[in-house]
Amino acid sequence: MNQFQYARPSKPQAAIRAVAKDANAQFIAGGTNLVDLMKRGVMTPQKLVDINRLPLNKIERQNNGLRLGALALNSAVADDKLVRERQPLLVQALNAGASAQLRNMATVGGNMLQRTRCPYFYDTTMPCNKRAPGTGCGALEGINRMHAIFGFSDKCIAVHPSDMSVALVALDATVLVSGPQGDRRIPFADFHRLPGDTPQKDTNLERGELITAVDIPDAPFTRHVSYYKVRERASYAFALVSAAAALELDGNTIKAARLALGGVAHKPWRLTAAEQVLVGKPATEATFRQAAEVAMQGAKAFKYNEYKLKLAPNTLVQALKTATAA
Ligand SMILES: Cc1cc2nc3c(=O)[nH]c(=O)nc-3n(C[C@H](O)[C@H](O)[C@H](O)COP(=O)(O)OP(=O)(O)OC[C@H]3O[C@@H](n4cnc5c(N)ncnc54)[C@H](O)[C@@H]3O)c2cc1C
């Protein structure tokens, strides 16, 4: 690992200033992703600004919703009484991620900003436009079974690995950010980016911007929810495909729906057109299949990930069936 400087400020403004003024500085929270990447030489910050002393770990009621501090631990959020009562979809998504030990270190902000698990990104002997812009994409013609079927470009076909973010995009969350230019709010759906010509940029955050919290509005999705994750082992594995489904039912009729897929794109993939298909219809498998067909419009596979063209709609239908039965 390269040598680096280390600072641990206790005020958000000091942390923001430290990263804003130094192109080689980076925030560190739980460190469960960043330290791995540093050990492998994938990321080489020369200064780490440890944010764990900042007062950003509260989970509270705020403006008809829940506010999760950026430093709230994944395990603390999943165990919180308010979150369990009001946002069970988020609880399911969090508990589907990583392992208990990792969730005890991982934070809300760090989870959203974890980097892709594309093996070409991790292997510094291979080309990767995300790690080293301009070197090419090893996955395009390589082993691409974990890769995207939506929204990719010829520069990058990686997927975003976070489970929590799939639930948050479905639940219309908003990201609260503080930076050198002040505070701003970013709708969760606009937070992560598609790769386009700049796959090195995962999100729309500017240099020095610190995530301070995530707001989730109250919604009637407290019962009929499901986060359904398909992976190669039951724990400690990233999604091949995952689906978040939240339904408001009146008897067997769907009044409202929120849907998103994980493991299919460079960002958590919200399915607004498929949600519209569901509204006013009976909660049956036939309806769910119609929505899944709409959800898959525009999907395209590579040599080794064609299975996702079937797995993704089936996962979505399964999530909808599980949510209905909940
Ligand atoms: C073996 C293994 C299995 C895993 N399986 C899964 C899985 O199945 N599902 C899943 O979702 N995740 C999984 N993970 C990933 C894990 O969830 C992430 O490593 C974790 O959420 C990152 O959070 P952190 O606080 O440790 O982030 P860090 O490693 O500290 O930081 C990650 C990035 O976020 C930035 N950052 C952190 N906080 C802020 C902030 N407040 N503002 C601005 N920038 C910030 C850092 O600069 C860094 O770039 C797995 C990890 C491992 C090691």
Mean pLDDT of 271-300: 98
DSSP 188: G
| Radius of gyration, alpha carbons of the chain | 19
Ligand 1 pocket member 110 (CB < 6 A): yes
Ligand 1 centroid – CA 115 distance (Å): 8
Ligand 1 pocket member 132 (CB < 6 A): no
Secondary structure string (H, E, C) spanning 246-300: EEEEECCEEEEEEEEEECCCCCCEECHHHHHHHCCCECCHHHHHHHHHHHCCCCC
Q: Would you mind telling me the total number of residues written for the chain in this entry? A: 326
Report pLDDT for 1.
65
If you average pLDDT over every residue of the chain, what do you get? Answer: 97
Ligand 1 centroid – CA 55 distance (Å): 19
- Model confidence at 180, pLDDT cuts 50, 70, 90, reads very high
On the question of pLDDT at 63 being above 90, the answer is: no
- Domain annotation for the chain: domains and CATH numbers: 5-52 (3.30.43.10), 224-325 (3.30.390.50)
Give residues with Cβ within 8 angstroms of 256, minimum separation 6.
220, 221, 247, 248, 275, 279
Mean pLDDT of 267-283: 98
On the question of pLDDT at 204 being above 70, the answer is: yes
CA atoms 45, 50, 56, 58: torsion sign? positive
On the question of pLDDT at 139 being above 80, the answer is: yes
Each residue of 249-270: pLDDT tens digit?
999 999 999 999 999 999 999 9
| Rounded Cα distance, 304 and 98, in Å | 24
Mean pLDDT of 141-161: 98
Report pLDDT for 235.
83
| Rounded Cα distance, 295 and 28, in Å | 36
On the question of pLDDT at 36 being above 80, the answer is: yes
Ligand 1 pocket member 105 (CB < 6 A): yes
Report pLDDT for 80.
98
- Model confidence at 236, pLDDT cuts 50, 70, 90, reads confident
| Rounded Cα distance, 18 and 32, in Å | 21
- Model confidence at 234, pLDDT cuts 50, 70, 90, reads confident
Each residue of 157-174: pLDDT tens digit?
999 999 999 999 999 999
Closest ligand 1 atom to Cα of 35: 29
Ligand 1 pocket member 97 (CB < 6 A): yes
Mean pLDDT of 302-320: 98
On the question of pLDDT at 320 being above 80, the answer is: yes
CA-wise closest residue to 41 among 90, 3, 74: 3
Ligand 1 centroid – CA 270 distance (Å): 21
Each residue of 77-136: pLDDT tens digit?
999 999 999 999 999 999 999 999 999 999 999 999 999 999 999 999 999 999 999 999
Tell me the two tokens of residue 279.
């509204």
Ligand 1 pocket member 106 (CB < 6 A): yes
| Rounded Cα distance, 248 and 279, in Å | 9
Chain-centre distance of CA 306, in angstroms? 23
